[in-house]
Amino acid sequence: MPVQAIGAILPAALAVALSPFPLIGIVLILTGGHGRRNGLLFAAGWIAGLAVLAALGVVVFGGTDEPDSPSAAVADWGRVFAGAALIVWGVRKWWKRPRKGDRVEEPGWMTSLGDATAGRALLLGVLLSAANPKNLVLTASAAASIIEAGAHGADLVVAVVAFVLIGSCTVLGSVGARLLGGRRAISFLDGVRRFMTANSTVITVIVMLLLGAGVLGDGLTGLGR
């Protein structure tokens, strides 16, 4: 059932969408020169990268709908390790967070995004979605959930498309705001960027801990069947 599959992938898709760095990156691109063109190219690259990841995940975990199959066991153990890794990642991120009074600066690679070429905007979208370790874990978990929900054929395609669109909603929303709001949207998007930059650690930690606990719990539940 597509509804059941979409419900299963919703937490992972939202975690992908709420990643601070891609949102900061797209806002910097949109508020720079050729913002509309580069924003569309970044969004296209992001969607393409996430779609490829999801498709590969569905292929790899194609046998997880059989609880006693080796694929199901691999998926469950993978969830256990991935969930634990997300929790450790979140705790480590919090431990190394900037302390009060520390100046929070954007990474060096972000500072020149406003002047990015068309090719760089497209490539950056692909890399931030497909080469992001967190996205790899979340997409693999979502792919396994889609198969376990019994989605096949058209239902499988609908679930994958839903994952990609939900995981891209913040990027697409930012591009839509820039296209529809014109120059007036720049101040709003810049405010979003400043908020995400200042609170990126807290947002990342919360997402990692909640998703890590959920993925770990699903893995342990599967192993106990």
Range 81-100 burial, b when 16+ CB lie within 10 A, else e: ebbebbbebbeebeeeeeee
Average pLDDT over the chain, rounded to whole?
80
Is there a contact between 79 and 164 (Cβ–Cβ < 8 Å)? no
Q: Higher confidence at residue 127 or residue 35?
A: 127
Please report, for the chain, the start and end positions of each structural domain, with discontinuous segments joined by +: 2-62+71-223
Is there a contact between 139 and 54 (Cβ–Cβ < 8 Å)? yes
Can you give the pLDDT at residue 66? 62
* pLDDT band per the 50, 70, 90 thresholds, residue 190: confident
Distance of CA 102 to the CA centre of its chain: 28
**Percent of all residues in the chain with a pLDDT value above 70, rounded to a whole number:** 85
* pLDDT band per the 50, 70, 90 thresholds, residue 162: very high
- pTM for the model stands at 0.81
Task: Find the mean pLDDT for residues 58-75.
Answer: 69
Task: Find the mean pLDDT for residues 98-102.
Answer: 65
* pLDDT band per the 50, 70, 90 thresholds, residue 46: very high
CB atoms within 10 A of CB 21: 18
